[in-house]
Amino acid sequence: ISKIAVLTSGGDAPGMNPCIRAVVRTALYNGLEVVGVRQGYKGLIENDMYDMQSRSVSNILSLGGTILKTARCLPFKEDEGMATAYKHLKEHGIDALVVIGGDGTFTGALRFSKKYPDISVIGVPGTIDNDLCGSTYTLGFDTATNTVIEAIDKIRDTADAHDRLFFIEVMGRDSGAIALRAGISCGAEAILLPEKQTAIEDLIKNLKDGSSNKKSSSIVIVAEGDKNGGVYDVAKAVQKEVKDYDIKVTILGHLQRGGSPSSFDRILGSRLGYAAVNALIAGETQKMVGLQANHILLTSLEDALNHHEFKLEADLLEMADILSI
């Protein structure tokens, strides 16, 4: 290969910038040219890309978001959009692509690469949801969880002062990864997740037990994808039965995506970007670089997308229940 394009796509995640920096500098170190594509697949279709030098990525390690911007791009799902993207890549003499994103991004990358195998493609798992097979952690998950913890600690202070019961919604439409770790870290009384159904009656019993145990405040974390109808419905159902507490709802929302990447995400982003370029140089394609047992290993994009095999850690789920009594 001689010229690499790098893009960030789908939901942004803290740590994408350290990864872009690593891709650019590893490529330059190896005598390759690098092109940054703006706004993910949209930039490929609209031919919005620019040559990157070492200085193009100065002072970005501490920045959240992504300097390349990201976008959702429906035309890339169509054959015509893919053909235009391919034409622009060829015009620039690009023969390899690093895509940083989540499952949607990988689905697009895999389809594209099967249609146009002369462009090698390596994926980097960049999503706060931590829901890809083949990487114990995805880029942005650690920072997002830390952001959530910081917010919940503050809510705990006010909950405690007023004997309040707080229901806090955290991100995770299909994944309870943030909810589970934030719940353990903040001592939540209960954690509602898409992966493990909690009946409202059980939740109410649990909270009543806590109240008779003289807990002065309670925090319940609800992942967006919980199957009980959303955080407001859960709070309403519980308020009917639990009269001692004043119930409040907080939705943390998009603040969970922002902020300076944690040390963990800066290092993970650097390692994954470095490994992505080295994989391309070694002739790999249609693979994802991921962290497994503290080694950076390759997984096929097909396997990485296999959500059915992805499970939250059973030991953490069990421990969370026991430690909250």
Q: Rule CB under 6 A: which residues touch ligand ADP?
A: 9-11, 41, 72-73, 76-77, 101-105, 107-108, 111, 127
Per-residue tokens: 319: 């421990």
* Cα torsion through 226, 316, 10, 89, rounded to 10: -150
To the nearest whole angstrom, how small is the minimum distance from the Cβ of residue 129 to ligand ADP? 8
Closer residue to ligand ADP (CB): 23 or 184? 23
Contact, 275 vs 296, CB < 8 A? yes
Residue 127 is assigned to a ligand binding site: yes
Q: How far is CA 294 from CA 9, 180, 224, 297, 309, in A?
A: 25, 21, 30, 9, 20
Closer residue to ligand ADP (CB): 107 or 185? 107
Closer residue to ligand ADP (CB): 11 or 64? 11
To the nearest whole angstrom, how small is the minimum distance from the Cβ of residue 115 to ligand ADP? 10
Residue 187 is assigned to a ligand binding site: yes
Is 129 among the residues known to form the active site? yes
Residue 295 is assigned to a ligand binding site: no
Contact, 65 vs 19, CB < 8 A? no
The burial class, CB within 10 Å (0-12 / 13-18 / 19+), for 264 is: middle
Cα gap 64→45, rounded to integer Å: 25
Residue 72 is assigned to a ligand binding site: yes
> Helix, strand or coil for residue 56?
helix
- Give the residue nearest to ligand ADP (CB): 104
> Helix, strand or coil for residue 182?
helix
To the nearest whole angstrom, how small is the minimum distance from the Cβ of residue 140 to ligand ADP? 10
To the nearest whole angstrom, how small is the minimum distance from the Cβ of residue 286 to ligand ADP? 14
Residue 131 is assigned to a ligand binding site: no
Contact, 130 vs 175, CB < 8 A? yes
Q: Which of 129, 142, 226, 265 is catalytic?
A: 129
User: Which residues are the active-site residues?
Assistant: 129
Task: Enumerate the known binding-site residues.
Answer: 11, 21-25, 72-73, 102-105, 127-129, 156, 164, 171-173, 187-189, 215-217, 224, 248, 254-257
Task: Enumerate the known binding-site residues for Mg(2+).
Answer: 103
